[in-house]
A = this chain, B = another copy of it.
């Protein structure tokens, strides 16, 4: 009977996934501190104690929620793009202005990184890694000493636009079509991608 259509393990996994989805949504909307285990449980239609049983602690739930693959479309995180133009295209897509926004896991991280030290560490690590990757890509063609600094400015620029658009809903940005935003942003990023000389 363990090969049944919906075994015990299957049901458990399904419940776990539902909890993680609810957690992602709430963490993305309200951040780590203001999201309660109770609210996650209510949203997922389970008992609060069950959430603890599955994930051990609120921190454990957060970590799993932001790391686990969500049902939303995945925008590749690593900066493993080709060269020049392709890199910028890749970055502009990563911005998530197309396809209706970034996955909730990413939004949860962005939302919490300024107030939760653990989230800040995680985000710092991820951004530093992305900066290093882009820095390498930038220093191959047209070299300069500050490729990594330019990469950092590219990344932080995109973080800023993302925050303004997805998390703050600045009226001007929210009402603008994605194509227009990317079109206007492209020359600016190109300026950063090119060596200063």
Contact = CB atoms under 8 A, between A and B. Distances in A.
B160 A115 contact: no
Interface residues of A, number: 54
A175 B80 CA distance: 25
Interface string A181-195: 101110111111000
Interface of A: 30-31, 33-34, 110-115, 120, 123-124, 127-128, 131, 135, 146, 148-153, 155-161, 163-165, 167-173, 176, 180-181, 183-185, 187-192, 196
26 contacts: A33-B33, A33-B34, A111-B114, A112-B115, A114-B163, A114-B168, A115-B115, A123-B168, A124-B168, A127-B168, A128-B171, A131-B172, A146-B176, A146-B184, A149-B173, A149-B184, A152-B173, A156-B165, A160-B160, A160-B161, A163-B163, A183-B196, A184-B192, A187-B191, A187-B192, A190-B191
Contact of A188 (B153, B159, B169, B183): B153
Contact of A115 (B30, B184, B191): B30
Contacts of A30: 115
Contacts of A185: 153, 192
- Which of A131, A167, A173, A196 is packed against the most chain B CB atoms within 10 Å? A173
B172 A149 contact: yes
Contact of A128 (B128, B146, B170): B170
Contacts of A114: 31, 110-112, 114-115, 163, 167-168
B172 A128 contact: yes
B192 A188 contact: yes
Given A30-B115, A188-B191, 12 more contacts: A111-B115, A112-B114, A113-B168, A114-B115, A123-B168, A131-B172, A151-B172, A152-B170, A152-B173, A155-B164, A159-B163, A188-B189
